[in-house]
Amino acid sequence: LEMRVKELEQSNEGLRLQFKYLEKMIGEREEETKANINNLGEKVREREEVTKGIIKNLEEKVKEEAKAKQKKGLENEKKNPKKNKKLLMN
């Protein structure tokens, strides 16, 4: 009986050590996960800024093209007012 008690105590001690090891590993993994989440969040913010810049540039380009078309239309109207009126009537 004493032998069995000692075996169980040793087994319990082994289990306690394993439990402590696993707790430590879980803590380390949680820290890694938090760091990964923070890194991903930073990457998302960086890409968001890049995307905003691209959108702004495209919007400016569209505005510039619209102004250029409007200017070209006014120049054409000055050169050929009769032709433009015919086009508008059709």
Measured CA to CA, the distance from residue 65 to residue 56 in angstroms comes to 14
Pairwise pLDDT comparison (71 vs 19), residue with the higher score: 19
Give residue 71's pLDDT band: very low, low, confident or very high (50, 70, 90). Answer: confident
Position 87 scores a pLDDT of 55
Question: Which band of pLDDT confidence, cut at 50, 70 and 90, is reported for residue 65?
Answer: very high
3-state secondary structure of 64: helix
Kindly state the DSSP code that residue 1 receives in the 8-state scheme.
-
Query: Which residues are within 8 A (CB) of 84 and not within 5 positions of it... i.e. 6 or more apart?
Result: 76, 77
Which domain does 50 fall in, by range? 2-89
In this predicted structure, what is the pLDDT of residue 86? 57
pTM for the whole structure: 0.54
Number of domains within the chain: 1
Which among 66, 48, 47 has a CA at the least distance from the CA of 58? 66
Of residues 87 and 15, more confidence is placed in 15
Residue 90, pLDDT > 60, answer no
Ramachandran category for residue 80: left, alpha or beta (phi over 0 → left; psi -120 to 50 → alpha): beta
- Distance CA(28)–CA(34), nearest Å, equals 10
